[in-house]
Structure 1
Amino acid sequence: MKNSHKVFTSFFIAFLSIFLTSCSGIIGYGVLLWNDNEHKLSDGTVVPVYLKSNISKVYVIGLPDTKEKIEVPLWQLSSPEKKSKAIKRAEKYAEYKNMYAKSAIDGLPIRADKVNTSKQVYRLRKNETVKTMYKGKGVAPQKGGVPLEGEWLHVLTSNGTEGWCFSYNLRLFEMKAEVVAEKSSVASIEEEEVDTLIEEVLNTAWYPEYYSSMISKKQIDLDFFNSTYRFNTGYATGKISLVLPDFEIEFPYSGVTKTDEKEYDFNNTPLQLVVRSKKSIVIKYTDEKGMPKSYNFTSLGEKNPEQYISEEIVRRQNEYKAISSSGPDFKSGNYGKISFNDGNQLVWSGFNKLVPSVIPAGAKGNGEVELKYFVPAELKSSWDGILTFRFDGTEKEVNFFYKKEDNGIRFTPGNVSKRYDAKTGRSISSVSLPSNSMVLFFQK
């Protein structure tokens, strides 16, 4: 009974609220945005609004010169306001009163702003009808380096989406309530296929190609793998940028022009794009000295760099915990005692015999442990990983291959060599065994 009473009370309050609102008179005036053929109402008509229902998603409006009230979808009417403001709004739409348009091609984008690089809010099907509302000044798209004929029109779709569409591929026609008459547009319409490839490329996040190699080898170098290094197409901002470890450029651009099969120019910039596949592109850049350069980029698919970085950090933490939890203390009759403590903290005493051949003079007995390098494929059967020791008192890192044993842990020094890669701007590290490598064994 209590639940029934609550339901009745809620219903009564909702009904009373609607009743009082509808009886309290007009809540404002709106402009009809799309013809209502059933009631012979043309777009641009200013009508009184009596009720807004967010549940039913309708306005209750009054028909001009009658007392009849009807419902129209929320998207079909401008927001209620003072009558004087509604009349001014209707005047803004007057130039395109009763004017509609059909898309001449499939996939024609409606954008958030009046520039071809602005975010897409909708894609029109071929012959889909939109309401043209008013025009605005913007940057005309180009074809072959020449601006297309037409203008930017603010349009409304039949599902209520609003945005900007360039008129080059729109066929304008007049449509009065209950009457449709086609009217040719000012510029002739040329059937043209939408370049879905470039649309997809511009909507993709692109990262240095070496990311793919790191991912496939499961060797994420955190010094050169992050979300900062990337090629940003500027699809939403109109600014294109390229950022690598030692190189960064940015240019505003007004659109993209196709110059050859799968090749494009970013207009008014020294950058060109070559599409190798949906997951691989090349950016060509001519610097201020006229020197040509090229950079390869890849798509990471569903994952972003932060996810790979997080996984790599966890992997390194787990690898260190596996060593620490098996000890954390390990002893050697010749090389002292090592303790792997929480927080990747190292304590090593009695390592004098390794100074200065392995451990540099001046190194203290405390330090930190990193797992930043990766075992070469040919040595993976012999070694579990590489530990990098950073002792207090010296800036030089000390690297050891390690192998966990049932009763302890085995080490051998590793040599790290680094090679600068000019194409990517990063340093590539590799670790090898010295020709006269020595093995250190520490018991638990």
Structure 2
Amino acid sequence: MKFNHKIAAAFAITLLSIFMTSCSGVIGYGVLLWNDNEHKISDGTVVPVYLKSNISKVYVIGLPDSKEKVEVPLWQLSVPEKKSKAIKRAAKYEEYKNTYAKSAIDGLPIRADKVNTSKQVYRLRKNETVKTLYKGNGVAPQNGGVPLEGEWLHVLTSNGTEGWCFSYNLRLFEMRAEEVVAQTVTVAESSEEEVDTLIGDVLNTTWYPDFYGSMISKKQIDLEYFNSSYKFNTGYSSGKISIVLPDLELEFPFSGVTKTEDKEYDFNDSPLHLVVRNSRSIVIKYADEKGMPRSYNFVSISGKSIEQIISEELERRQNEYKAISSSGPDFKSGNYGKISFNDGNQFAWSGFNKLVPSVIPSGAKGNGEIEIKYFVPAELKSSWDGIMTFNFEGADKEVNFLYKKEGNGIRLTAGSVSKRYEAKSGRNISTVSLPSNSLVLFFQK
């Protein structure tokens, strides 16, 4: 005979109704994992369990200090066990009793274990609420090689999925069973009140990568990565927010801004979350397509425009080269030939055979172009004025020389330039050093 699920379900409901009015014995004790708002039972409460129905997917439990029995969904209660074990379980959950969390971003993953490479068991929607149960020790996710702040929390979703979620993009809050409505109203009311003050200034500001501020303060403008296109566009007039960095381009339409915490905002209908550090510094957070949390720091630039700063740096570099060429332009060495620093940053060098291939690559011709693009580190500034980059025709790599102008000539030594990729900013950071066995060359006027 064919099994009729509808009849079975109706039969189960009938049995439940009969059972809930009877005095059957307890099959175990469970811990309520999520507030029961209807009956005002707080999470963490140990309750007696009288029946489990796999068809209706409910437990029948007893209300505290009452003989009344009610139904709760299976996911809302821990698996029934001995009372002593249920009490120990409740103690494990005590630290996060009445503590819930909202996801600050779209796509935040819940994982099977406490490591960011573990299998994803669920992806949270932005503002989706989870119950935090307890914390655990694990491997913190990283952004640009730097561990993110936070901890791994074992959480429960409203559909019963359990797993581990790193707290960096969670916004924890307290919610008691009798305070659910008040909590929602408070958040909504406070979010609109402050949007027009702080966020209004933020939306009207152009934000550039924070390494721009570092370059300006150190007076070391790397023109490869300093331009007006790299920025966070708030979309104040266009309705589209965007991030453009050396290795990242994101753009999202958004429908408004909602305050989530003090100095924190969501761009509605987008995965971006804004943290305002101060009037000149912000952080943008989001989860990438793999669910990895990302954050980017931006600053505002005051005083001069980006274009003006670039123009001044180009002029500084040109003046530095002119100071070298005007002191010559021809310099001679008995061992290393003759160098002429000509107009247009052009050079001619003959007789450099003794430097091949240890310093100058094989196949390099005796002419090319000079760039002034690297910066001498502080520990070498007392001995060297700057660094010139020789681009020889016929050579497949640049040659860098630190230089020192002397009264009767110029002193050179081969410098080493190493580049380190910084994932957070998406750029290569250049570092100049002087090898311990570096040869010093002197060219006389």
Is the TM value for this pair above 0.5?
A: yes
Cα 1:193/1:286, change in 2 over 3 Å: closer
Cα 1:273/1:307, change in 2 over 3 Å: same
Cα 1:192/1:248, change in 2 over 3 Å: closer
Quote the residue 2:360 is aligned against: 359
Q: Tell me how far 1:287 sits from its aligned partner.
A: 1.1
Paired residue type of 2:252: F
Task: Please give the alpha-carbon distance, in whole angstroms, between the structure 2 residues aligned to 1:288 and 1:434.
Answer: 43
Quote the residue 1:422 is aligned against: 423
Q: Tell me how far 1:193 sits from its aligned partner.
A: 5.6
Quote the residue 1:233 is aligned against: 234
**Does residue 443 of the first structure (1) align with residue 422 of the second (2)?**
no
Cα 1:394/1:196, change in 2 over 3 Å: same
Paired residue type of 2:344: G
Task: Please give the alpha-carbon distance, in whole angstroms, between the structure 2 residues aligned to 1:223 and 1:397.
Answer: 16
Task: Please give the alpha-carbon distance, in whole angstroms, between the structure 2 residues aligned to 1:397 and 1:192.
Answer: 58
SS of equivalent to 2:344: helix
Cα 1:219/1:206, change in 2 over 3 Å: same
Q: Tell me how far 1:195 sits from its aligned partner.
A: 3.2
Per-residue deviation, residues 198-252 of structure 1 (Å, max 9, x unmatched): 0000000000000011011100000000001000000010000000001100001
Q: Tell me how far 1:395 sits from its aligned partner.
A: 2.2
Task: Please give the alpha-carbon distance, in whole angstroms, between the structure 2 residues aligned to 1:264 and 1:341.
Answer: 56
Check whether the contact 2:256–2:268 (CA below 8 A) recurs between aligned residues: yes
Check whether the contact 2:210–2:299 (CA below 8 A) recurs between aligned residues: yes
Quote the residue 1:368 is aligned against: 369
Task: Please give the alpha-carbon distance, in whole angstroms, between the structure 1 residues aligned to 2:239 and 2:195.
Answer: 20
Quote the residue 2:281 is aligned against: 280
Quote the residue 1:211 is aligned against: 212
Per-residue deviation, residues 101-125 of structure 1 (Å, max 9, x unmatched): xxxxxxxxxxxxxxxxxxxxxxxxx
Paired residue type of 1:230: K
Task: Please give the alpha-carbon distance, in whole angstroms, between the structure 2 residues aligned to 1:290 and 1:193.
Answer: 30
Quote the residue 1:134 is aligned against: none
Quote the residue 1:331 is aligned against: 332
Task: Please give the alpha-carbon distance, in whole angstroms, between the structure 2 residues aligned to 1:423 and 1:321.
Answer: 37
Quote the residue 2:254 is aligned against: 253
Task: Please give the alpha-carbon distance, in whole angstroms, between the structure 2 residues aligned to 1:193 and 1:237.
Answer: 22
Check whether the contact 2:389–2:401 (CA below 8 A) recurs between aligned residues: yes
Task: Please give the alpha-carbon distance, in whole angstroms, between the structure 2 residues aligned to 1:320 and 1:192.
Answer: 56
Task: Please give the alpha-carbon distance, in whole angstroms, between the structure 2 residues aligned to 1:245 and 1:261.
Answer: 31
Q: Tell me how far 1:291 sits from its aligned partner.
A: 1.0
SS of equivalent to 2:435: coil
Q: Tell me how far 1:302 sits from its aligned partner.
A: 3.1
Task: Please give the alpha-carbon distance, in whole angstroms, between the structure 2 residues aligned to 1:336 and 1:344.
Answer: 19
Check whether the contact 2:195–2:257 (CA below 8 A) recurs between aligned residues: no
Q: Tell me how far 1:304 sits from its aligned partner.
A: 1.9
Cα 1:423/1:192, change in 2 over 3 Å: closer
Quote the residue 1:244 is aligned against: 245
**Does residue 314 of the first structure (1) align with residue 339 of the second (2)?**
no
Q: Tell me how far 1:342 sits from its aligned partner.
A: 0.3
Q: Tell me how far 1:192 sits from its aligned partner.
A: 4.4
Paired residue type of 1:215: I
SS of equivalent to 2:202: helix
SS of equivalent to 2:361: coil
Quote the residue 1:94 is aligned against: none
Paired residue type of 1:360: P
Quote the residue 1:406 is aligned against: 407
Paired residue type of 2:328: G
Among the aligned pairs, what percent are the same residue? Answer: 78
Check whether the contact 2:215–2:222 (CA below 8 A) recurs between aligned residues: yes
Cα 1:334/1:265, change in 2 over 3 Å: same
Check whether the contact 2:195–2:258 (CA below 8 A) recurs between aligned residues: no
SS of equivalent to 2:312: helix
Quote the residue 2:345 is aligned against: 344
Post-superposition, which runs of at least 4 consecutive aligned residues in structure 1 deviate over 4 A?
Answer: 191-194
Quote the residue 2:296 is aligned against: 295
Paired residue type of 2:198: L
Q: TM-score, normalised to structure 2's length?
A: 0.57
Q: How many residues align?
A: 257
* Highest RCO, 1 vs 2 (Cα 8 Å, sep ≥ 6): 2
Task: Please give the alpha-carbon distance, in whole angstroms, between the structure 2 residues aligned to 1:195 and 1:234.
Answer: 16
SS of equivalent to 1:369: strand
Cα 1:290/1:193, change in 2 over 3 Å: closer
Quote the residue 2:133 is aligned against: none
SS of equivalent to 1:213: helix
Structure 2, unaligned stretches of length 5 or more?
1-126, 129-191
Cα 1:332/1:197, change in 2 over 3 Å: same
RMSD: 1.6
Task: Please give the alpha-carbon distance, in whole angstroms, between the structure 2 residues aligned to 1:228 and 1:362.
Answer: 38
Paired residue type of 1:337: K
Quote the residue 1:22 is aligned against: none
Check whether the contact 2:223–2:310 (CA below 8 A) recurs between aligned residues: yes
Per-residue deviation, residues 145-184 of structure 1 (Å, max 9, x unmatched): 9xxxxxxxxxxxxxxxxxxxxxxxxxxxxxxxxxxxxxxx
Check whether the contact 2:195–2:259 (CA below 8 A) recurs between aligned residues: no
